[in-house]
Structure 1
Amino acid sequence: MFGLELTTIWFVLIAVLWIGYFALEGFDFGVGMLVPVLARDETERRVMINTIGPVWDGNEVWLLVAGGATFAAFPEWYATLFSGFYLPLLIILVALILRNLSFEYRHKGDTASWRARWDVAMIGGSYVPAVLWGVAFANITAGVPIDADKEFTGTLFTLLNPYALLGGAVTALLFATHGAMFVALKTDGEIRHRARALAVRLGAAAAVVAVVFLTWTQVRTGDLSSAVAFVLAALCLLAGVAAAAAGREGWAFLGTFLTIVLAVAGLFLALFPDVMPSSTSAAYSLTTTNAAATPYTLQIMTWVALVFTPIVIGYQTWTYWVFRKRISTRHIPTAQLTAARD
Structure 2
Amino acid sequence: MELHTVWFVLIAVLWTGYFFLEGFDFGVGILTGVLARDRAEKRVLINTIGPVWDGNEVWLLSAGGATFAAFPDWYATLFSGFYLPLLVILVALIVRGVAFEYRAKRPGEGWQRAWERAIFWASVVPAVLWGVAFANIVHGVRINAHGDYTGGLGGLLGPYALLGGVVTLTLFTFHGAVFVALKTVGDIRVRARRLAGFAGVVAAVAAIAFLLWTQAGTGNGRSLVALVVAVAGLGGALMANARGREGWAFALSGTAIAASVAMLFLALFPEVMPSSLNADWSLTVSNAASSPYTLKIMTWCAGIATPLVLLYQSWTYWVFRKRIGTQHIADTGH
Do these two structures clear the TM 0.5 threshold for a shared fold by scoring above it? Answer: yes
Give the match for residue 114 of structure 2.
Answer: 117
1:102 maps to a residue whose letter is A
What is the count of residue pairs matched by the alignment? 334
Give the match for residue 23 of structure 1.
Answer: 20
Residue among 216, 220, 238 paired with 2:217: 220
Deviating above 3 A after TM superposition, structure 1's stretches of 4 or more consecutive aligned residues are: none
Give the match for residue 136 of structure 1.
Answer: 133
Q: Note if 1:200 corresponds to 2:201.
A: no
Q: Note if 1:236 corresponds to 2:241.
A: no
Q: CA deviation at 1:112?
A: 1.3
1:50-72 deviation digits (Å, cap 9, x = unpaired) = 00000000000000010000000
Give the match for residue 34 of structure 2.
Answer: 37
Give the match for residue 105 of structure 1.
Answer: 102
Give the secondary structure class of the aligned counterpart of 1:39: coil
Q: CA deviation at 1:231?
A: 1.2
1:170-225 deviation digits (Å, cap 9, x = unpaired) = 00000000000000000000000000000011001110111100000000100011
**Aligned partners of 2:26 and 2:96: how far apart in 1?**
10
Q: CA deviation at 1:111?
A: 1.3
1:135-166 deviation digits (Å, cap 9, x = unpaired) = 00000001001000000010000000000000
**Aligned partners of 1:85 and 1:42: how far apart in 2?**
37
1:93-113 deviation digits (Å, cap 9, x = unpaired) = 000101111100001111111
Residue among 72, 77, 88 paired with 1:75: 72
**Aligned partners of 2:33 and 2:145: how far apart in 1?**
48
8 Å CA contact retained: 2:33, 2:117: no
Question: Where do 1:244-283 residues align within 5 Å?
Answer: 244-283=241-280
Residue among 1, 4, 7 paired with 1:7: 4
Q: Percent identity?
A: 64
Give the match for residue 89 of structure 1.
Answer: 86
1:206-249 deviation digits (Å, cap 9, x = unpaired) = 10111100000000100011011011101111110111011110
**Aligned partners of 1:47 and 1:136: how far apart in 2?**
32
1:215 maps to a residue whose letter is L
1:322 maps to a residue whose letter is V
1:26-49 deviation digits (Å, cap 9, x = unpaired) = 000000001121111111110000
Give the match for residue 323 of structure 1.
Answer: 320
Q: CA deviation at 1:127?
A: 0.2
* Superposed CA RMSD: 0.7
Give the match for residue 187 of structure 1.
Answer: 184
TM-score in terms of structure 2 length: 0.99
**Aligned partners of 1:144 and 1:124: how far apart in 2?**
28
8 Å CA contact retained: 2:71, 2:285: yes
8 Å CA contact retained: 2:275, 2:283: yes
Q: Note if 1:149 corresponds to 2:150.
A: no
Q: CA deviation at 1:119?
A: 1.2
**Aligned partners of 1:332 and 1:141: how far apart in 2?**
44
**Aligned partners of 2:115 and 2:330: how far apart in 1?**
21
8 Å CA contact retained: 2:18, 2:60: yes
8 Å CA contact retained: 2:12, 2:262: yes
1:279 maps to a residue whose letter is S
Residue among 283, 286, 290 paired with 2:283: 286
**Aligned partners of 1:201 and 1:124: how far apart in 2?**
21
TM-score in terms of structure 1 length: 0.97
Give the secondary structure class of the aligned counterpart of 2:32: helix
